[in-house]
Amino acid sequence: MKAICFYFQIHQPFRLKRYRFFDIGNDHYYYDDFANDDIITRIAHQSYIPAAETLLRMIEDSGRKFKCAISISGVALEQIEMYVPELLDILKKLVATGCVEILAETYAHSLSSLADPDEFANQVKVHDEKVHELFGVRPKVLRNTELIYCDDLAPQILAMGYKGVITEGAKHILGWKSPNYVYAAASAPKLKMLLKNDKLSDDITFRFSNTNWSEYPLTADKYIGWIADTPAEEQIFNLFMTLETFGELQNRQSGIFQFLEALPRFAAERGVEFITPTEAVSKIKVVAELGIPFPISWADEARDTSAWLGNQLQKEAFDKLYSVAERVRLCDDRRLKQDWYYLQASDHFFYMSTKHQADGEIHSLYSPYDSPYQAFTNYMNVLADFIVRVEEQYPLSIENEELNSLLTTIRNQAREIETLNKEVSSMRLNIEHYNEEHALREKAAAAKAAADAAEGDAAEDVATPAEAAPAAETEAKPAKKPRAKKAAPKKATAKKK
């Protein structure tokens, strides 16, 4: 039976305010709160909430046969909690149905996998904890930022405990192969790979309302028909897209919500089912190993990382940011670490892209800046202030290895002090316990002594009347005269005859 694996992405960065050169060292707050509130609130009510409500109805109306996956970046979850908690309530309802899987990803929607393996692992772990805190589940399949993946990442992803990874079905990687199968990572064969069906996904995301498209209008029965009519051996169709597709990229008037809601009915008629990524990697047999030597993504025509690292502006900002990665990880400053996450969002580098034509239009559509150069200047000003704050805690005059050694010594001493404090606390508890027991024993002994004394007094009180009675009786009776002794009887003598 053929299966559709839907995955929807939710992400919004913390956008930066206009930050001048003269603000460096004076202003340590970098974010445009008004814009962040306005944008996520608008998109939530225009897209995320109605789309989530539609998914919930699809699950209920299909008898829970409709299934899908959602990935939400950590920074997006923070904004949802702050600005649109009603969206979080609906997402929790979706997860509670058991038909919606939450995927793992980097907390900051960052490019850390391309720069720092330790930072990548740490962010995925932090995101995993956030998901568990809010939804009570642990992700089993990983979706890296913008579907970035290469062979170098597979062993690490597998070692982190994930069963599968989601990435782009890039044509220059697949060649003659089809994305409609489950593959195994060449560098870690136990890790399963789900590849996005580029054409079918983009038919919904970008071409749905294009009146010049040869397949316009796209209906649910036509779309399911395309899937059902593929070769029998092709088993899975991975449809990956941002949730903004519904209501934002394709507005409500286009009929996009009705199209989405009708899919389960036509799928059932054609014998097509819906499955989650975890079900896909667990149930569907791997057909072959697939090697991806260089990083790929789902962005731009090139399907590589040039959307974020394609020019010198982006590379300079990227290198400058991750030059302090180790020092930031060593620090315990909560605010500094929060800014570290927010500044890693891939969006900041996306805004610096100098691409033209179709790719350039997409970059301009999402960018809050007038030009990539303005985006670069603003970001570098913020980054300069951030690095000043890092240096205040850990001066650059101290090498990373020396700093790490010093901090390790300090932390070891702190742990030793903590251990000693625990021992002191334990001894105090023992002393308190001993004192309590000693006090109880003394109290018990005193009580026993008092009881014994009371018993002795009671015994004396009982004995005194008994002893006094004969004496009183003796005093009451008159003294008797002593009787005279009787004469001894004479012995009878026999009369002589």
The residue ranking higher by pLDDT, 475 or 194, is 194
DSSP category for residue 300: T
Domain segments of the chain as ranges: 3-306, 401-444
User: So what's the pLDDT on residue 351?
Assistant: 96
Q: Which residues of 207-224 are buried (b: 16+ CB within 10 A; e: fewer)?
A: bbbeeeeeeeebebeebb
Average pLDDT over residues 478-497: 45
Q: How far are the Cα atoms of 48, 203, 278, 290, 299 from residue 7, in angstroms, in the given order?
A: 14, 15, 12, 21, 16
Q: Are strands 100-102 and 141-143 parallel, antiparallel or unpaired?
A: unpaired
- For residue 395, pLDDT over 90 is answered with no
Are 94 and 34 a contacting pair, CB within 8 Å?
Answer: no
- For residue 492, pLDDT over 50 is answered with no
Among candidate residues 190, 10, 226, the one with its CA nearest the CA of residue 100: 10
Q: 145 φ, ψ to 5°?
A: -45, 125
Distance of CA 268 to the CA centre of its chain: 34
Cα gap 275→255, rounded to integer Å:
25
The continuous run of DSSP H or E covering 228 comes out as helix 220-228
User: So what's the pLDDT on residue 120?
Assistant: 98
- For residue 493, pLDDT over 50 is answered with no
Average pLDDT over residues 409-430: 80
As a whole-number percent, the residues of the chain with pLDDT over 70 amount to 88
User: So what's the pLDDT on residue 393?
Assistant: 86
Confidence of residue 402 (pLDDT cuts 50, 70, 90): low
Residue type for position 395 = P
Confidence of residue 364 (pLDDT cuts 50, 70, 90): confident
Which residues lie closer than 8 Å to 461 by C-beta, 6 or more apart?
none
Average pLDDT over residues 287-305: 96
Confidence of residue 379 (pLDDT cuts 50, 70, 90): very high
> How many CB atoms are located within 10 Å of the residue 377 CB?
17
Average pLDDT over residues 149-170: 98
Are 54 and 33 a contacting pair, CB within 8 Å?
Answer: no
Angle at the Cα of 7 from the Cα atoms of 70 and 144, rounded to 5 degrees? 75
- For residue 488, pLDDT over 60 is answered with no
Determine the topology of domain 3-306 in CATH: 7-stranded beta/alpha barrel (3.20.110)
User: So what's the pLDDT on residue 357?
Assistant: 64
- For residue 9, pLDDT over 50 is answered with yes
- Sign, Cα dihedral of 75, 79, 82, 86: negative
User: So what's the pLDDT on residue 97?
Assistant: 98
Query: Picking from 72-81, 147-156, 433-442, 471-480, which range would have the lowest pLDDT averaged per residue?
Result: 471-480
Average pLDDT over residues 103-122: 98
- For residue 494, pLDDT over 50 is answered with no
User: So what's the pLDDT on residue 403?
Assistant: 57
Query: Picking from 49-63, 200-214, 419-433, which range would have the lowest pLDDT averaged per residue?
Result: 419-433
- In DSSP notation, 406-441 reads HHHHHHHHHHHHHHHHHHHHHHHHHHHHHHHHHHHH
Cα gap 125→127, rounded to integer Å:
5
The continuous run of DSSP H or E covering 35 comes out as helix 33-43
Average pLDDT over residues 333-353: 97
Instruction: Write out the catalytic residue numbers.
Output: 146
Average pLDDT over residues 301-315: 96
- For residue 325, pLDDT over 70 is answered with yes
Distance of CA 107 to the CA centre of its chain: 9
Confidence of residue 452 (pLDDT cuts 50, 70, 90): confident
Helices (H), 136-176: 154-159, 171-174
Among candidate residues 227, 256, 275, 265, the one with its CA nearest the CA of residue 6: 275
Peptide bond into 264 cis (omega under 30): no
User: Residue 293 corresponds to which tokens in the numbers above?
Assistant: 């030597």
> How many CB atoms are located within 10 Å of the residue 122 CB?
16
User: So what's the pLDDT on residue 34?
Assistant: 98
Cα gap 447→442, rounded to integer Å:
8
Confidence of residue 404 (pLDDT cuts 50, 70, 90): low
pTM (2 d.p.): 0.81
If you average pLDDT over every residue of the chain, what do you get?
A: 90
- Burial grade of 27 (CB within 10 A; 0-12, 13-18, 19 or more): middle
